């Protein structure tokens, strides 16, 4: 074979590979991302509508305080009757990197989805991003199951078949883009595993994430998840302030991990439905003082997005910020430790925002909001063992590049402290 034939052969193989990639993007990744984005768009719209209605109808008569006594027992009862038992979404995601088909069996997937909705929609302290990533991954696996089945019967479908891990990551990216309202962060979060971004999954997850976000934005709108009330400029003294803030966030994330593990270990002897009732009772006791003093600020309920936006709009005092932090840590640890299902990314963002708000009140009372956002980034990075994703999340959410440098400093310090402390 002469050099011209060799070059032509290589060019032909390259063109075939590009054609195969194009087919998979067009017929698999774009529809999968759009579908999961649509589903999560419906879920987010339902969550916003239900939260507003609950806040409006149940706050004046104080019935909102007793909502966790319904949600958490209902979630644990669903898990018990469905034959699933106590589960953790993080464990399922970890198992999906080894054996996706073992991580997402169809029946148990439906049971866990119902338990997630009961936990998050009815007063639990957990984020929608955890179930979103998990549900998107489960949808991705079911799509892979369908494509694999059809590939034995249709020749064209056979050319679309790809690795199950890639389909799982694409489904997760499309769903996360809807929850985060930040497609690049969602793609990186879905493609990352053990602090490493898997290169083969990066392009498919970027495509699925963009598709999911476009569908979500068409349904819900383009408003950012967290809205800053002022622009910020980069100064050297703020970078130095990021060092102690990162240290505090690293220690705080370690305490949150320990609190969650302690609740789960100490209450393991209680049957799961009764454990849910005990957790709901604990959440009621945590909600009661805050409801009487600040009825319009949901400190305990939900992932904490409303709490972060409140901290940015109405900067609290040092003592009040620390109270918010303690309540959110205990509420989230109690929700997950007593059998509830939900995400930890948004609660970690809220905890870090509370800690950063305390630093704002202490060190920058005339320039509030800056350390609040840096704390949110550092705490989320430390608890979720990632440095890149929270910084990208901050840049996409706020559209302020001046925050990236101090956020990198705070997140790196928090990540290293949490890893060594744990």
- Which residues span the domain enclosing 53? 11-220
Other CB atoms within 10 Å distance of the CB of residue 379 = 34
CATH of the domain at 52: 1.10.3080.10
Q: Could you give the percent of the chain with pLDDT greater than 90?
A: 25
Q: Which of 220, 248, 270 is the endpoint of a domain?
A: 220
Same domain, 19 and 107: yes
Same domain, 241 and 216: no
Same domain, 145 and 276: no
Instruction: With respect to residue 295, please indicate whether it lies within any of the assigned structural domains.
Output: yes
Same domain, 211 and 240: no
Instruction: With respect to residue 46, please indicate whether it lies within any of the assigned structural domains.
Output: yes
Q: Which of 170, 191, 220 is the endpoint of a domain?
A: 220
Same domain, 316 and 213: no
Same domain, 169 and 268: no
Instruction: With respect to residue 225, please indicate whether it lies within any of the assigned structural domains.
Output: no
User: What Rg, from alpha-carbon coordinates, does the chain have?
Assistant: 22
Output the CA torsion 158→159→165→168 (10° steps). -80
Same domain, 267 and 410: yes
Q: What is the DSSP string of 302-338?
A: SSSHHHHHHHHHSPPPHHHHHHHHHHHHHHHHHHHHT
Q: Which of 186, 220, 254 is the endpoint of a domain?
A: 220
Same domain, 337 and 383: yes
- pLDDT tens digits, 338-379: 888 888 899 999 999 999 999 999 888 877 888 999 999 999
Instruction: With respect to residue 228, please indicate whether it lies within any of the assigned structural domains.
Output: no
Instruction: With respect to residue 322, please indicate whether it lies within any of the assigned structural domains.
Output: yes
Same domain, 256 and 203: no
Same domain, 188 and 247: no
- pLDDT tens digits, 286-315: 988 877 777 778 888 888 888 998 898 888
Choice between 136 and 193, residue whose per-residue pLDDT is larger: 136
CB distance 335 to 197 below 8 Å: no
**Residue 89 to residues 137, 332, 339, 351, 353: CA-CA distances in angstroms?**
11, 14, 11, 20, 24
Instruction: With respect to residue 323, please indicate whether it lies within any of the assigned structural domains.
Output: yes
Number of structural domains (the chain) is: 2
**Tokens of residue 185, six digits:** 């962060």
Whether 30 shows a pLDDT value over 60: the answer reads yes
Instruction: With respect to residue 76, please indicate whether it lies within any of the assigned structural domains.
Output: yes
* pLDDT mean over 198-217: 84
């Amino acid at each position: 074979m002469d050099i011209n034939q060799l070059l032509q052969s290589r060019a032909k193989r390259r063109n075939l590979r590009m054609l195969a990639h194009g087919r998979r993007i067009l017929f698999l990744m774009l529809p999968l991302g759009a579908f999961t984005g649509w589903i999560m768009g419906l879920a987010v719209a339902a969550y916003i509508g239900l939260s507003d209605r609950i806040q409006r109808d149940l706050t004046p008569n104080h019935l909102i305080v007793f909502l966790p006594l319904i949600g958490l027992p209902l979630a644990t009862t669903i898990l018990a009757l469905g034959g699933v038992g106590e589960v953790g979404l993080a464990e399922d995601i970890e198992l999906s990197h080894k054996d996706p088909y073992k991580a997402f069996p169809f029946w148990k997937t439906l049971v866990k989805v119902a338990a997630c909705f009961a936990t998050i929609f009815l007063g639990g302290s957990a984020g929608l991003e955890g179930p979103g990533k998990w549900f998107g991954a489960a949808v991705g696996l079911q799509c892979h199951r369908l494509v694999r089945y059809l590939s034995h019967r249709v020749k064209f479908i056979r050319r679309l078949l790809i690795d199950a891990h890639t389909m799982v990551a694409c489904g997760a990216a499309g769903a996360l883009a809807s929850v985060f309202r930040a497609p690049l962060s969602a793609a990186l979060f879905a493609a990352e595993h053990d602090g490493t971004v898997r290169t083969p999954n990066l392009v498919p997850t970027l495509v699925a994430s963009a598709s999911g976000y476009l569908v979500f934005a068409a349904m819900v709108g383009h408003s950012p998840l967290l809205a800053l009330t002022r622009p910020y400029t980069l100064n050297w003294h703020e970078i130095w302030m990021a060092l102690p803030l990162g240290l505090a966030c690293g220690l705080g994330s370690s305490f949150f991990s320990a609190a969650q593990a302690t609740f789960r270990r100490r209450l393991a002897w209680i049957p799961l439905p009764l454990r849910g009732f005990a957790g709901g009772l604990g959440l009621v006791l945590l909600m009661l003082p805050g409801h009487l003093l600040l009825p319009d600020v949901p400190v305990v309920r939900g992932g904490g997005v409303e709490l972060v936006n409140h901290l940015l709009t109405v900067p609290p005092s040092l003592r009040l910020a620390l109270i918010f932090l303690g309540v959110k840590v205990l509420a989230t640890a109690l929700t997950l430790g007593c059998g509830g299902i939900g995400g930890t990314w948004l609660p970690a963002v809220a905890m870090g925002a509370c800690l950063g708000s305390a630093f704002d009140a202490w060190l920058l009372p005339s320039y509030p909001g800056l350390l609040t956002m840096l704390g949110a980034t550092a705490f989320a990075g430390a608890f979720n063992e990632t440095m890149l994703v929270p910084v990208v999340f901050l840049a996409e959410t706020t559209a302020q590049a001046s925050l990236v440098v101090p956020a990198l400093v705070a997140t790196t310090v928090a990540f290293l402290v949490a890893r060594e402390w744990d």
